[in-house]
């Protein structure tokens, strides 16, 4: 018996851009030793080309997923390195799982599909980079926050440094969601919900101690379908003030933009 090759047909895409604004200092960790500047204890991750801090797409995507897993009460059953995530290891629960169908599962499972969600790295906006250069932060584009860590043996307060991108910094974020059937449109609802959940929580490290509050502002969305003989049909883009406003309008947009999808 030979397996029939699986066919994957892209029927449309959704493109979302937004500004990630840090409401508090933001710490997304880099690796000490290779990227550290000025020997700070806990450096932030930087783009080696211009030395500017950025938000890796994997960090935002991972936080969106973990928030959405908690929101849906999905079982944490798959240890990958130091983190445990939810994964539908069998095909049957996978078919109706909002987490796994939106965010994907590791490729080793036979029922895994081509990824729908791509989250891009988010770089400092030009205006934000210029502002941070002008105000001469502790380190290039960042501040150093001192905290007292308590030594558990001696109870002595040990000062510790935390490098953060200052509150007010803005990054240009973007994500793409691929549609392989009309039913996939509803999965994009989960992407918007996950972004709203991240706004309620935090991004990066030290969130319980005040770092990492972000908002996603000025979202702009557009879509295109791949119907009518493969002709790409882009829809005019729509801009909103907030992710909440977009999430409210999205059900209407998806009904009108993608009427022709199979
Ligand atoms: Zn699942």
Tens digit of pLDDT at every position of the chain (262 positions)? 556 777 888 889 999 999 999 999 999 987 655 545 556 778 999 999 999 999 999 999 999 999 999 999 999 999 988 889 999 999 999 999 999 999 999 889 999 988 999 999 999 999 999 999 999 889 999 999 888 777 788 888 888 888 999 999 999 999 999 999 889 999 999 999 999 999 999 999 888 888 999 999 999 999 888 776 656 667 789 999 999 999 999 999 988 888 777 6
CA of 241 to the centre of ligand 1 (A): 32
Decide if 113 is inside a domain: yes
Decide if 124 is inside a domain: yes
CA of 103 to the centre of ligand 1 (A): 9
CA of 180 to the centre of ligand 1 (A): 18
Q: Is the pTM of this model over 0.85?
A: yes
Number of domains the chain contains: 1
Decide if 223 is inside a domain: yes
Decide if 241 is inside a domain: yes
Determine the pLDDT at residue 89: 95
CA of 250 to the centre of ligand 1 (A): 24
Range of the domain at 145: 12-257
Decide if 29 is inside a domain: yes
Token pair of 69, please?
């897993």
CA of 82 to the centre of ligand 1 (A): 19
Decide if 5 is inside a domain: no
* Burial of 136: CB neighbours in 10 Å, binned 0-12, 13-18, 19+: exposed
CA of 78 to the centre of ligand 1 (A): 11
CA of 186 to the centre of ligand 1 (A): 16
Determine the pLDDT at residue 3: 67
CA of 42 to the centre of ligand 1 (A): 34
Decide if 40 is inside a domain: yes
CA distance 153 to 67: 35
**DSSP code at position 107:** T
Decide if 219 is inside a domain: yes
CA distance 192 to 254: 13
CA distance 24 to 154: 32
């Amino acid at each position: 018996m030979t397996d029939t090759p699986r066919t994957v047909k892209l029927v449309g895409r959704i493109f979302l851009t937004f500004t990630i604004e840090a409401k508090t200092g933001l710490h997304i960790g880099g690796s000490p030793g290779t990227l550290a500047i000025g020997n700070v204890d806990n450096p932030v991750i930087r783009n080696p080309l211009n030395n500017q801090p950025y938000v890796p797409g994997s960090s935002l995507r991972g936080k969106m997923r973990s928030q959405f897993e908690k929101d849906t009460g999905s079982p944490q059953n798959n240890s990958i390195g130091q983190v445990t995530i939810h994964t539908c290891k069998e095909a049957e629960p996978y078919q109706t799982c909002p987490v796994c169908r939106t965010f994907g599962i590791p490729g080793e499972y036979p029922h895994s599909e081509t990824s729908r969600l791509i989250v891009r790295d988010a770089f400092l906006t030009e205006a934000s980079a210029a502002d941070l250069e002008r105000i001469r932060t502790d380190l290039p584009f960042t501040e150093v926050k001192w905290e007292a860590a308590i030594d558990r043996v001696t109870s002595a307060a040990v000062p510790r440094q935390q490098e953060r991108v200052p509150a007010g910094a803005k990054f240009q974020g973007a994500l793409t969601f691929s549609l392989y059937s009309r039913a996939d449109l509803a999965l994009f609802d989960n992407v918007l919900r996950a972004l709203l959940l991240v706004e309620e929580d935090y991004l990066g490290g030290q969130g319980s101690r005040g770092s990492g509050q972000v908002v996603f502002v000025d979202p702009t969305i557009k879509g295109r379908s791949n119907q009518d003989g493969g002709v790409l049909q882009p829809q005019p883009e729509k801009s909103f003030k907030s992710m909440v406003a977009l999430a409210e309008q999205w059900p209407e947009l998806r009904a009108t933009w993608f009427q022709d999808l199979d």
